[in-house]
Amino acid sequence: MGRVKNIMDKVLSGACAFLLSFMTLLATYQVITRYVFSSPSTISEDLLSYSFVWVSLLGTALVFGQKDHMKLSIFSDKLKGVKQFALSFFTELLIMSIAIIVFFIGGTKVVGVGSIQISPTLNISMEWIYIVLPISGVLIVVYNFINIIQLVQQFTKSKKEGIL
């Protein structure tokens, strides 16, 4: 599982780095065309918006995979042993449920709607923009499975060593 997670981390980190670099170049181009040539580019504006959505959702999946998401540690810091394990397990299941319902199921419906919409400036089907929703949902769910497996392994190891 660690190998799969490492590969996913590298691919997502690379994709996010590429998108951020692309967005920086696009924003620079946008500023130059707007203020130097007084002719703003609508294509670059749309590409920036869509790239921002993609980097945000792919970055979200990466953050959940690395367990760097925001959390209230007021409760989890006070819990130890089985209670802390149960809370962590429940949290992973809750995140997984939200990812399935909102990102995968909802995102799939949005992709369906996007298949009949065309981006006016880019002249492409909006399903290519919206496809990131179910993709990020699947990535989050895969990360949740990996996190749960690692959590159970840690708990089992701690129990065997008599730490709990």
Q: DSSP per residue over 85-148, as a string?
A: HHHHHHHHHHHHHHIIIIIIIIHHHHHHHHTT-B-TTT-SBTHHHHTHHHHHHHHHHHHHHHHH
pLDDT computed for residue 133 by the predictor = 97
> What is the rounded distance in angstroms from the CA atom of residue 158 to the CA atom of residue 163?
5
All structural domains of the chain with their residue ranges: 2-160
Residue 147 has pLDDT above 80, yes or no: yes
pLDDT computed for residue 53 by the predictor = 95
Confidence of residue 31 (pLDDT cuts 50, 70, 90): very high
The pLDDT of 79-106, averaged and rounded, is 91
> What is the rounded distance in angstroms from the CA atom of residue 5 to the CA atom of residue 8?
5
- Token output for 18: 């590429």
Higher-confidence position of 18 and 34 = 18
The pLDDT of 84-90, averaged and rounded, is 89
The pLDDT of 40-44, averaged and rounded, is 87
> What is the rounded distance in angstroms from the CA atom of residue 123 to the CA atom of residue 63?
32
Residue type, 128: W
The pLDDT of 56-84, averaged and rounded, is 82
pLDDT computed for residue 30 by the predictor = 92
Task: Please give the model's pTM, rounded to 2 decimal places.
Answer: 0.88
Confidence of residue 164 (pLDDT cuts 50, 70, 90): low
pLDDT computed for residue 73 by the predictor = 72
> What is the rounded distance in angstroms from the CA atom of residue 53 to the CA atom of residue 34?
23
